[in-house]
Copies of this chain bind each other. A is one copy, B any other.
Amino acid sequence: MTTTTYETQIEADADVPLIRITREFDAPRSKVFRAHVDPELVKQWLGPRGYEMRVLHFECRTGGSYRYEHLDGDSTYGFYGSFHEVRPDEMIVQTFTYDGMPDGVALERLVLTDLGDGRTRLVVTSLCDSFADRDAMIASGMEDGIRQSYERLDELLA
């Protein structure tokens, strides 16, 4: 089976301290949504290639919360947050903190649009407290991790 790889657009907003990620997938919206909600599926694509993902808890529902770790050899990177709102197949709004920057909190919104013909557009916005925090997030090398994650998601969806 051939997997089409779309480009992942990652933009820093000019007016507000926000990062906007846009990506298309050759899969129906409900399938892309499920891959974000079911921790057994999330573990298979979220994070850079070669990292193992350990889910401590992951309740993707309005009012739920999550904690997971990415393991890279002897290094462990922990992340946690809460799910503000989950609208099936459409939208997930959640908070996000990296353990290494415990005072930095991002407000993330995932929106999925049905493009027809079994294709889906994903837009994730990540709103930070300040331009300094937003720019530090970009400088951390997150872009490679995101591109690799979505390539892994293509493979899972295929």
Contact = CB atoms under 8 A, between A and B. Distances in A.
Interface of A: 15-18, 62-65, 80-85, 93, 95, 97, 105, 107, 109, 125, 127, 129-131
A63 B66 CA distance: 8
Given A63-B65, A95-B93, A107-B95, A129 B16 contact: yes
Contacts of A81: 84
Contacts of A127: 107, 127, 129
21 contacts: A15-B130, A16-B16, A16-B17, A16-B130, A16-B131, A62-B65, A62-B80, A63-B65, A82-B84, A82-B95, A84-B95, A84-B97, A85-B97, A95-B95, A95-B107, A105-B107, A107-B107, A107-B127, A107-B129, A109-B129, A127-B127
A125 to B, nearest CB: 8
